Amino acid sequence: AQKITQTQPGMFVQEKEAVTLDCTYDTSDPSYGLFWYKQPSSGEMIFLIYQGSYDQQNATEGRYSLNFQKARKSANLVISASQLGDSAMYFCAMRELDFGNEKLTFGTGTRLTIIP
Amino acid sequence: ETGVTQSPTHLIKTRGQQVTLRCSSQSGHNTVSWYQQALGQGPQFIFQYYREEENGRGNFPPRFSGLQFPNYSSELNVNALELDDSALYLCASSLGALAGGPYEQYFGPGTRLTVT
């Protein structure tokens, strides 16, 4: 069974500092994908970044980068130069593909609070 | 480009009743996935619809059912509501696994269901 683990229930970070949110996963499938989503208090899940298991380079999207360490089965999200608007819940998710059926399995999330 | 929309925003139902939630997918997307997010948890996959057929299902009982229409919009129906069904229900649209990528799922704002 697929599993996503986020070990940091909450984090407090000073504005403008970089922050790393941890995510480890467990799968025996050679082909998979890893996502990070941001969920503000409004509830909407906002897509941040995607890393495929066969991608050679770490994914980057603006201030977001994904530190993908395949051998360690980790996919940490790095946010550079944090802003007050980054305060939200962050979820790591894994894309599972089973005979053409696709689903995302989510972790329990990390609540990030940016301090002015 | 029109994003994912969901209706209604909030809903209050009584135990034993039935409920229908609606979702309009993002323009160009033919796949819709539904997720249940209980308070303080990550989203849990309910099922996915691709071209009007169920294309994968999570660990939810048959009283959770769905439909997808020719315009790729979708409904989630829940019969015989239980107190534990109280949650945020999220709909996500994508191009689906068979498209070969990109694999991002884009989420709507969700419907918050309260069962009393």
pLDDT of residue B115 exceeding 70, the answer is yes
| 3-state secondary structure at position B74 | strand
* Residues forming beta bridges with residue A46, ordered by sequence position: A38
Which single residue is written with the structure tokens 């999200």? A77
Continuous segment of H or E residues that includes residue B19: strand B19-24
Residues in chain A: 116
Q: Where are the beta strands (DSSP E) in B1-71?
A: 5-7, 10-13, 19-24, 31-37, 44-50, 53-57, 64-68
pLDDT in tens, B102-114: 678 899 999 999 9
- Closest residue of chain A to B106, computed from CA coordinates: A47
The better pLDDT of the pair A14, B99 is held by: A14
Give the Cα separation of A94 and A89 in Å (integer).
Answer: 17
Q: What pLDDT score does A1 carry?
A: 56
Q: What pLDDT score does A2 carry?
A: 56
B102 and chain A: CB distance < 8 Å anywhere? yes
Interchain pair A44, B109: CB under 8 A: yes
pLDDT in tens, A25-79: 999 888 889 999 999 998 889 999 999 999 989 999 999 999 999 999 999 999 9
For residue B30, list chain A residues with Cβ-Cβ distance below 8 A. Answer: none
Q: What pLDDT score does B61 carry?
A: 96
Give the rounded percent of residues in chain B with a pLDDT score beyond 90: 72
Q: What pLDDT score does A34 carry?
A: 94
- Closest residue of chain A to B98, computed from CA coordinates: A100
The better pLDDT of the pair A101, B57 is held by: B57
Please compute Rg for chain A using Cα positions. 14
The better pLDDT of the pair A116, A30 is held by: A116
* Terminal CA-CA length for chain B: 38
- Minimal C-alpha gap between B110 and chain A (Å): 7
For residue B44, list chain A residues with Cβ-Cβ distance below 8 A. Answer: 106
- In the predicted model, what is the mean pLDDT of chain B? 92
% helix, strand, coil for chain B, step of 5: 5, 50, 45
Interchain pair B97, A102: CB under 8 A: yes
